[in-house]
Amino acid sequence: MKIGYVQTLPEFGQKEQNFKEVNRLLSGVSADLVVLPELFATGYTITSKDEARALSEKKNGETALFLEKISVLTGAVIVGGFVEKDDDHIYNSAMMVYRGQLIGMYRKIHLFNKEKRWFSPGDRPPEVYTVNGWKIGMMICFDWIFPEISRALALKGAQIIAHPSNLVMPHCQKAMVTRCIENRVFAVTSNRIGEEKRGEDHFRFTGGSQVTSCDGEILCSAPERETHAGFVIIDQVLSENKMINAYNDVLLDRRPELY
């Protein structure tokens, strides 16, 4: 499987421009899985619930249409983040599309910082979707600090975790090595770059998107300050072997009765 990320520099609120930039970075690319950043179409630093609502879309909105289009152009499963509107709730969500069809959605369970003021926390367990025989789960950015999410996806059979992100702390890229080793899964962390200064907030995003193997090896990674599309060929089936030596299976050796 050829899997990778597109690391972008979104302009806040400029969806058309941000779509164009993803198109440019993906021009001529064909792949099996492409992961875009969290909130890649809108930018991150929302300042009010009204602003979140104004940026929000239904799951068949313009961001879905764009993702469907690039899934056809690249031949890939595409995962990307968006501001989701569903009844009275606004979620920080990701969707997975393939061949122009919506495959599945994930609503960020662990909201970061002031996201708690405008987004509702995800209300559904993370799921693994089987597409073309590949088993792919999603989590979003700050979910990395809660090992339960990647563990839950591994227990549900995920081979690869697609991880749209807008990282502002320096730890996630290293932590994903552990998340991948402890579950023996591959992960694609797609981050953004640049700064956003809006309202009281000033965020600097850390770039360094990466593909991490089920052995914890960083197979490809992006620079900290430049847009980049990076891809690597993996054998996703390796993630189905949970043994780290002749005696230890990282899932079966757990002792949940003791903790």
Of the residues 15, 85, 108, 135, which is catalytic? 108
Question: Which of 98/126 has CB closer to ligand ACM?
Answer: 126
Question: Quick one: 174 exposed, middle or buried, by C-beta within 10 A (0-12, 13-18, 19+)?
Answer: exposed
Six-digit token string for 56: 């929000």
Q: How far is the CB of 191 from ligand ACM (least distance, A)?
A: 9
Judge whether 197 counts as a catalytic residue.
no
Q: In sequence order, which ranges of the chain are alpha helices (DSSP H)?
A: 15-25, 49-55, 62-74, 115-118, 147-155, 172-183
Task: Name residue 248's amino acid.
Answer: N
* Smaller CB separation from ligand ACM, 109 or 214: 109
To the nearest 10 degrees (0 to 180), the angle between helices 147-155 and 172-183 is 30
Catalytic site residue 38? yes
**Closer of 32 and 38 to ligand ACM (Cβ):** 38
- Closest CB 250 distance from ligand ACM, rounded Å: 26
Q: CA–CA distance from 18 to each of 7, 130, 146 (Å)?
A: 12, 29, 30
Task: State whether residue 189 is helix, strand or coil.
Answer: strand
Residue closer to ligand ACM (CB basis): 107 or 135: 107
Residue 194 zone, left/alpha/beta (φ > 0; ψ -120 to 50; rest): left
Cβ atoms 108, 61 nearer than 8 A: no
Q: Which amino acid appears at position 35 of this protein?
A: V
The residues with which 72 forms a beta bridge, in sequence order, are none
Q: Is 141 one of the annotated active-site residues of the chain?
A: yes
Using CB under 6 A, list all residues that contact ligand ACM: 38, 112, 141-142, 166-168
Nearer to ligand ACM, 157 or 199 (CB): 199
| Catalytic machinery residues | 38, 108, 141
